[in-house]
Amino acid sequence: MKKVLLSGIVITAALMGPTMAADLPVKAPMISAPAYNWTGFYLGGHAGGAWSTTDWTFFNGVGSEGFSQDSSSWIAGAQVGYLYQFSPNWVVGVEVSWSGTDLEATSTSLLFANRSRQSKINDLLLVTGRFGYASDNWLTYIKGGYANADVEFNTSVTSTGLPTSSSSDREDGWTVGGGIEYGIFPNMSIGVEYNFVRLDIGDRNQFVFPGFIAPETVTGADADIHSVWARVNFRFGGLLGPR
């Protein structure tokens, strides 16, 4: 009796198997949220603070005097660039940024009575490569490349402010830095960045104002600039890879 009952169950299961399998609900595959994608062109702005040390030697035909001048200032500007994410968490790119600033310092001459010497950095242009690691909405990166700035040297009569000589020129250098960004929307990110800039300033013949004796020159000049700024970027989608 048991053998007959068991045989009936097996035969019934065999006959109903395909129908039962077709009636069973199919579980939908798990779909994970897409990871944040950093690939694309971007445009943005930044603002923060900067500080600098400018070393230089002034010569007026009679004697020379060295100066080391420290300054601090606001800094603000804009940046444009392109990032490409690959393999799958690494990110490379290029960026150009321009910043206005007012890194100005004035010292009173110790060798010549009633004379003041001033150095001033008016802006900062950076052309850099970027390399970073992305973890979903977070991007940590380093950067480095070319730097350029408008640098002035001015001398004057301390008591009256009357200028005695001046020069202004763009100077070349290099930069390194790094930062972190967070994507708050698919096409918008915010971040914080640090940059160090070294400017190697060429020797200059100052323009000497009428009533004062030439030559007046600047030699052995260089400047170190540090900046920290907050930044925001708006991305315009990928030229390569998925959007």
Residue 94 lies in a domain: yes
Tell me, what's the pLDDT at 87? Answer: 92
In-domain check, residue 172: yes
168 within domain boundaries: yes
Let me know if residue 188 belongs to a domain: yes
Predicted confidence at residue 34, as pLDDT, reads 53
Residue 126: give the domain boundaries.
37-105+116-140+153-195+207-243
What does the pLDDT average to over 53-74? 97
20 inside domain: no
Is residue 58 over pLDDT 80? Answer: yes
Query: How much is the pLDDT for 116?
Result: 98
- Residues 173, 195 contacting (CB under 8 angstroms): no
Looking up residue 165, the CATH number of its domain turns out to be: 2.40.160
- 107-123 per-position pLDDT tens digit: 999 999 999 999 999 99
pLDDT tens digits, one per residue of 3-52: 433 344 334 444 445 444 445 455 555 544 457 999 999 999 999 999 99
**pLDDT at residue number 30:** 53
- pLDDT-above-90 percentage for the chain: 81
pLDDT score of 168 more than 80: yes
The pLDDT of 178-205, averaged and rounded, is 97
pLDDT at residue number 35: 78
pLDDT of residue 28: 54
Q: pLDDT at position 26, please?
A: 53
Name the pTM for this structure.
Answer: 0.84
Average pLDDT, the chain: 88
Amino acid 52: pLDDT: 98
- Asked if 85 and 79 count as a contact pair (C-beta separation under 8 A), the reply is no
Domain-embedded: residue 219: yes
Give a yes or no: residue 93 inside a domain: yes
What is the number of structural domains in the chain?
1
In a domain, 16, yes or no: no
